Structure 1
Amino acid sequence: MNNYIIGTCGHIDHGKTALIKALNGYEGDSTNEEKQRGITIDLSFSNLSNETQNIAFIDVPGHEKLVKNMIAGAFSFDCVMIVVSASEKIMPQTIEHLEILNLLGVKNAILTITKKDLVEEQELPKIVEEIESFVKEFDFNILFTTAVSIYDENSIDELKEKLFTLNANTKVEENFFRYYVDRIFSAPGAGTIVTGTVLGKPIEVNEKVFICDIKKDVKIKNLQVHGINTEVSNISNRTAINLAGVKSSEIKKGFLISKKGFLRGFNSVDISFRALKGKKLKHNQNYSIFIGSKKVEGKTLLFNNQNEAENGFAILRLNEDIFSIYKEKLIIRQGNQTIAGGKVLNPVIDPMKKSQKLQLLELLEKEDIKEAYKVLLNAHRKGLGLISSAQRFALSHEKALAYAKGLDNCFIDEKALVLYPIETKEKIVDIIKQIYRKNQFALLSNSSLALKMKWASESFIDLALNQLLEENFLEKDGNLYKNKNIKIDIKNSLEEIILQRLEEEGLTPTAPYNIYDEMDLDRKTGDDILKSLCAKKAVVRLQHNLFVHSRVLTDIVKVMKNIITTDGYIDIQNFKDKFPLSRKYLITYLDYLDNFSQIKKDGNKRVFTTTSF
């Protein structure tokens, strides 16, 4: 079944809610306050369907003070039904709604002239032409224009017929699911339920999804599209999701639900903007930002040292993180005034020079992704993660790889999905050379080098190691790399060096992994050396990460026995009086005494089992 969303727009009392009721029987103004005041306060949702077409309606409030609620629904429109009263014609709120929709990039429109019964029949064509002429100035793609009255059943049926002939879905399938929450409630026996519009990709019952704003994994227990249970909800479906694993009190309007790993939150984004006629966006000024169904406060920082501008590039510094994607639209307001519309160009904020940032934004505005990659690669000399392309450019991994493969002078790690400038390989070569020049006995593997250079993938390190093998700087011994100029048995030499070090460090030896790092040893090699020393009884392992030279251990045991002889016992306090070691070492050596049959534990003390040793 084809799905699309039609949102209403128009001035208060021009008959938006009454028109929806005439089309599908749905009473949109459901709260007591709405009924008492006779206006739509919040968004209302309903639908109209036949065997092949499902049309979701989002009825928005027309009052000027409720524009923020209108914006919260408008982002998901596939098509807008512009509702204008034949008797009142274009009014201020109609204009603001049209401006906002224009800024949000909603193009498809149906122009519906309501209350035709309130004007003379011969005047109606002229009124329709006048209204249509005005609306066309906003560059909408008007699919059709019709005049109706809720008291004229034929006009309503004609409108209904035309709606069913449309294929107005404008949403493009992205490479991951997104969903802005617009309502939250808890139902007895069901638990937490949220409503919103499916964006990006369809979802299914029992799928795991991720609430980005609170970093929480949840499971979809049930899906409903317009009150009917369904196994799958598609793009442009107005959908209620029953979530397991989260309380309704944890979720707020504007939260984004997606798939884990696709979106990172940032409290700053780079945008292009266009102000409404007669208005300007000001530098370092506070505004309300509307993106999806979310409202967030923030500050605008204009580029090029401008104090104010009608259009251009700006940074939004926000009071909280948003989870945005490339080309997502937003609205900038101040108080009850709409100031400008914006388009997210750079949703992933990285440290960059201002000149690089400006160049990047100019390319992104032109949608020149290939050149944008080049700018980013120049700014990310230690690697650019291609996985971020889903958010950064709204690209799948496959398309991101295709762009990367079209770039010159770069290395692509397809497994790790990281892109490197080829010149960065020389940086890795230099780091490895420094290690082996500093320590001629260094014995490292690709994986141990990756621990030292966390930004470099193992495939990229391999490239550098192969170069050093070709240069005869290194040679390979199994999985290890050693200095080509060292001809002696390195492993035996390293045993002697580690044994001597442990002897010198005495009672407080360095943890093994720290020794390996300082000596530039592969961890497996270091572990093998310590195992060999333990097997030869040159070293004793007291704990997982505590290896003591045998002579040092023998000496401290003699001293500890002398303390028992003198004091009648040994515990942490009298041991520490003579050896001011940390508690970790004191307890370890006391525990080691338990291996001797002539010593027993008495509470927190150790004593001899007999009166004499």
Structure 2
Amino acid sequence: MSNIIIGTAGHIDHGKTALIKALNGFEGDDTNEEKQRGITIDLSFSNLTRGQQNIAFIDVPGHEKLVKNMIAGAFGFDYVMLIVSAAEGIKPQTVEHIEIINLLGLKELIVVLTKKDLVSSEELALKKEQILMFLGTFDFEIKFVSEVSIYDESSIEKLKNQLFTINNSTKQEENFFRFYVDRVFSPKGIGTVVTGTVLGKKVELNEKVFICETQKETKLKNIQVHNQNVLEANISNRAALNLQNIDVKSITRGDLITKRGYVRGFDGVDISFSCLKDKKLMHNKLYSLFIGAKRIEVKALLFDTIDSLEEGFATLKSTEKLYTVFGEKIILRNGNETVCGGKVLNPVIDPMKKNQKRKLLEALDKNDFINAYYELLSAHRKGLGIISSTQRFALSHEEALEFAKKLDEVFVDEKDLIIYPNSTKDELKDYIKNIYKKNAYAMLSNASISLRVKWASALFIDSVLYELEEEDFLIKEGSLYKNAHIKEDFSKDLEEIVLNRLKEEDIAPTAPYNIYDDLDIDRKLGDDILKSLTSKKQVIRIQHNLFIHFESLNNIVKAMKSIIKSDGYIEISNFKDRFELSRKYLIAYLDYLDNYSEIKKIDTKRVFA
């Protein structure tokens, strides 16, 4: 079934809600307050179906004080149905609604003149001409103009037929599912249900989804599209999602539901913006940010001035985390006044110098991802994750990888999806060279280097080690690399070095991994050396991570037995009086003493049996 979402726009009392009722019988103003005041206060949702075509309507309020609710609905529109009373023509909220949908980048317009029964044919033609002249100052694509009266069934039927000539949703499939919550409720016995418009990609029954604001994963127990249970909801479907094990009080309008791992939250976002005529965005001033169905207070920090601008770049700072994606449209308002619209350029806030950030935003504003990557790499010298490109650039991993391959002077790890500047490769190469220059007996593997250089991926390290082999600086033996200038086998020398190290450290030996790091040898190699030494009884393992030279162990055992002979027992307190050792060593040696048949343990004390 094809789906489109048509949103209404227009001045209060121009007949938006009455027209929807005439089209599909849906009574939008169903709350007591709406009935008492005779106006639409919040969004209402309904649909009209013919065959395999479905049209979803989002009816928005027209009152100037309720524009915030209108904006929340407008983010889900495919097409806008501008409704103008033939009796009144263009009014203030007609203008404001048109300005807002223009700022949001909604270009496809349906124009409906209502209440045609209240004017003559000449007046109707004049109003139509005036409306089209006004709309001509924007770059909208007007699908058609229709004149109706809710009391003229033929005009309503004609409009229905025109609506069903419209193509499917104009929204493009993106890389992952997104869903801004616009209503939350909890029907008895059902649990928490949220409604919104499906963006990005379809979502399926029993899929796991992620609520960004609460950082909770949940499963979809049920999906409804226009009150029908379905197995999936596609792009531009108005959907109700039944969330498993989610408290209705923990989720609110504007929360973003998506898939885990795609969107990170930040306390700021960088945008490009353009103000309405005679409006300016002020530096360091608080505004209401509207994005999706969310409304949140932010502080605008302009890039090029500490005064005001009609257009340019700005950073929006918030006390809450913002979960946004490149290219999303935003609206900024001051009280009941719309100031400007904008586009999210940089949804991932990185520590960058101001001149770097400006170049980045200039590239992103032109969708120049090649230069955007270069600017980000200058700030991410230790690797830029390609996986973040879904949020940064609204690119799939495959698309992001293709862009990365077009970059010069970089190394692209296609397995871990990381880009490294070649200058960083040179730095890593120098780091490894210095290890082997300082210690001719160094023997390291890729794994042991990655333990020291945690930001470097295995493929990146491999590329550096390969180049060092090509330069005849290193020789590979199995998984280990040794100095190419030392031809002889020095494995026995390493055994001797480790044995002498343990002998020098006596009864307070260093943990094996620390010895390996100090000697610049791979952990597997180090373990093999200790196994060899223990098999020869030159080194004794008395605990998981405690190896001691056999002479040192014999000496400490003699000393412990001497304490028992002198004091009648040994325990931690009188042991520590004689030897300034940490508790770790004291307990280990006391436990080892239990291996001797002439020693008996009574509570915490060891005595002669």
TM interval, short-chain normalised: over 0.9
Code of the residue aligned with 1:41 in structure 2: it is: I
Match of 1:509 in 2: 509
Matched residue, 2:227: 227
In structure 2, the residue matched to 1:129 is 129
Moved more, 48-57 or 148-157: 148-157
1:207/1:505 Cα in 2 relative to 1: closer, same or farther (>3 Å)? same
Once the two structures are superposed, what CA deviation does each residue of 1:57-88 show, in whole Å capped at 9, x if it has no partner?
11112222222221111111101111222222
Per the alignment, residue 329 of structure 2 pairs with: 329
Contact 2:571 2:606 in 1 (8 A): no
Name 1:491's counterpart in structure 2: 491
Deviations 1:316-357 (A, max 9, x none): 222222221111110111222111111011222223332222
The Cα offsets for residues 12-71 of structure 1, whole Å up to 9 and x where unpaired, read as 222222221221122222222222222222211111111121111111122222222211
> What's 1:15 paired with?
15
Distance 1:30 1:479, change over 3 A: same
Letter in 2 for 1:416: D
User: SS in structure 1 opposite 2:213?
Assistant: helix
Q: Deviations over 1:377-434 (max 9, x none)?
A: 3443332221122111111122112222222332222112122233332212111111
Distance 1:124 1:534, change over 3 A: same
- Match in the other structure for 2:605: 606
Partner letter of residue 323 of structure 1? Answer: Y
**Percent of pairs identical after alignment?**
63
Q: Which runs of 5+ in 1 are unaligned?
A: none
Where do residues 31-110 of structure 1 align in structure 2 (5 Å cutoff)?
31-110=31-110
Say which SS state the counterpart of residue 223 (structure 2) adopts: strand
Q: Offset of 1:197 from its aligned partner?
A: 1.0
Secondary structure in 2 matching 1:398:
helix
Larger CA deviation: 408-417 vs 322-331: 408-417
Q: Distance in 2 between matches of 1:445 and 1:279?
A: 62
Going from structure 1 to structure 2, the CA distance change for 1:308 and 1:155 (only over 3 Å counts) comes to same
| Aligned equivalents of 1:341, 1:259: Cα separation in 2 | 27
Aligned to 1:586: 586
Q: Does 1:190 align with 2:190?
A: yes
Q: Is the 8 A contact 1:274 1:341 kept in 2?
A: yes
Partner deviation per Cα, 1:106-127 (whole Å, 9 max, x = no partner): 1111111222233334422212
Could you tell me how far 1:515 is from its partner in structure 2?
Answer: 2.4
Q: 1:290 to 1:484 in 2, by over 3 A?
A: same
Partners of 1:324 and 1:513 in 2: CA distance: 44
Match of 1:14, SS state, is coil
Q: What is the SS of the residue equivalent to 1:198?
A: strand
1:223 Cα deviation from its structure 2 partner: 1.0
Shift of 1:177: 1.2
CA distance in 2, matches of 1:186, 1:594: 65
Determine the structure 2 residue equivalent to 1:30.
30
In structure 2, distance between residues paired with 1:12 and 1:568: 98
Change (3 A) 1:27 1:475: same
Aligned residue number for residue 414 of structure 1: 414
What is the distance in 1 between the residues matched to 2:107 and 2:17? 22
Question: 1:317 is matched with which residue?
Answer: 317
CA contact (8 A) 1:296 1:319 kept: no
**Matching residue of 1:555:** 555
Task: After TM superposition, give the deviation of residue 570 of structure 1 in Å.
Answer: 3.5
Instruction: Provide Cα deviations, 1:425-480, integer angstroms capped at 9, x if missing partner.
Output: 22121111111112221110112212222222222222221222222221111110
TM-score, normalised via structure 2 length: 0.95
SS of equivalent to 2:186: strand
Alpha-carbon distance in structure 2 between the residues aligned to 1:534 and 1:278: 84
Give the 5 Å matches for 1:168-317.
Answer: 168-317=168-317
Q: Does the CA-based 8 Å contact 1:599-1:606 persist in structure 2?
A: no
Aligned equivalents of 1:189 and 1:549: distance in 2? 70
Measured in 2, the distance between the counterparts of 1:416 and 1:498 equals 36
Q: Rate the CA distance shift 1:91–1:533 in 2: closer, same or farther, 3 A.
A: same
Shift of 1:568: 4.0
- Contact 1:356–1:375 (CA under 8 A) maintained in structure 2: yes
Aligned residue for 2:573? Answer: 573
How far 1:272 moved relative to its partner?
A: 0.7
SS at match of 1:95: helix
Instruction: Please say if 1:147 is aligned against 2:152.
Output: no
2:446 aligned residue: 446
Root-mean-square deviation (Å): 2.1
Contact 1:108-1:168 within 8 A present in 2 as well: no
